[in-house]
Amino acid sequence: MRIAVAGTGYVGLVTGVCLAEHGHNVTCVDIDDKKVAIMKNGVSPIYEPGLDELMLKNMDRLEFTTDYLSAYKAADVIFIGVGTPEKHDGSANLNYVYGVAEQIAKSIENDCVVVVKSTVPIGTNDKIEEMIKNNLTHNVNVYVASNPEFLSQGTAVRDTLQTSRIVIGVEEEYAGEILKEVYKDFKAPIVVTNRKSAEMIKYASNDFLALKISFINEIANLCEIIGADIEEVALGMGYDGRIGNRFLNAGIGYGGSCFPKDTKALHWLANFHDYELKTVKAAIDVNENQKLKLIKKSRRYYDSLKGLNIAVLGLTFKPGTDDLREAPTLVNIPLMLEDGGNVKAWDPVGSDNFKKLYPNEVSYYGSIEETIKDADICFIFTEWDEVKDFDLAKYSQLMKNPIVLDGRNCYEINQAKKANIIYDSIGRETVYNLETILV
């Protein structure tokens, strides 16, 4: 099947490459000449494990171009996978989606199905259909379908090829049958709904997971107060099949391109219709407060960070990606700098992106050892394997004052008790194990 994909970010590029893996001929469209040139050489412009290898494997079925006219005019199916960034008021910016819709209307010369893969507010597919049909250059039939993605950065290829479900939102049976043909080799249940239900499935899924994270973080905060251990609590909860054990890892909040944006967008949409989603609003509020958890903990040990060497381990919002969107470091590091701290940072893949924001204010290092050397305090913001596997004894050996604030609970409490450090994590007892405890 001839497929075109608009956009080569996480959603668009991963979708295109995975469809090519299943035998389709795919043309990926982007407005950036430099990105297209890179992709033509089989190199992914985004950091996503496994994507480069899959691109190279399927280059005979993949094309990359900035010429949307030639890409769209003869396509059987066109996927829209461009970004829908957050506006200042929390609503979704649909300018890129609508821009592609106009291009499609002016380009297509055959009957086709336009598939909205981007995460869009409920009712957007209807507007896209109206826009395309009102701007058609040729007398063709166009069918618009919603087909939300459920991928996570760092595991996007696996999440697409081994997806838990395929949701198809259509108003005509024909469009549904075409998409079933597109996905016929994917071994996953197919859920066919109307378009608005499909749009809502995406938002409801992401917002529920965000709510689950915020809930466990609130329980973790209470555990610290009353002396319970959040990991034991989560373990006991997770065996309940109605709850499950995923997204029960306490920490300093969620980030990335989906949860923050999608919770705010759905909350904004509800308010627009004079309805308040109280649970979603609570998840947003809890998450914003949770991001500052480690800074607040640092006041137990220092009245001010002024003049201190501050080690920061992990800059990205989660491991397996170089994405900084809504990462806790974007809130915390500016506060450290404003307080007069000397910030020393390490991240295996995210440092270059962070340098674009703070090229001179932060010192970047290539190893954990270099980063923590002579540090007065250490903040762990991302649970990279390199951090989890790091020898705890090295904190006391290399740091000036081995105070480790762990926002991702990378180490077991029993491990920390064997090391000569102060170890302060989320929802668990604090280990005061220095020979001389700072006051």
Question: Which are the catalytic amino acids?
Answer: 258
Q: Please answer whether residues 165 and 189 qualify as being in contact, where contact means their C-beta atoms are separated by less than 8 angstroms.
A: yes
Cβ count near 278 (within 10 Å): 10
Q: Count other C-beta atoms under 10 Å from residue 395's C-beta.
A: 25
- To the nearest 10°, the Cα dihedral for 10, 11, 12, 18? 100
> Whole-angstrom Cα distance, residue 196 to residue 212?
24
Say if residues 8 and 15 touch (Cβ distance below 8 Å): no
* Phi, psi dihedral angles at 39 (to 5 degrees): -70, -30
Q: Terminal CA-to-CA distance of the chain, rounded, Å?
A: 68
Q: Distance between CA atoms of 209 and 287, rounded to whole angstroms?
A: 12
* CA–CA distance, 391 with 371 (Å, rounded to integer): 14
**Helix extents (H) in 342-388:** 351-357, 368-372, 385-388
Phi, psi of 280, rounded to the nearest 5 degrees: -70, -40
The residue among 55, 70, 78, 54 whose CA lies nearest residue 1 is 78
- Give the full edge-to-edge strand order of the sheet including 112-116: 62-65, 25-29, 2-6, 77-80, 112-116, 142-146, 166-169, 190-193
For helices 230-238 and 195-226, angle between their N-to-C axes, nearest 10 degrees: 140
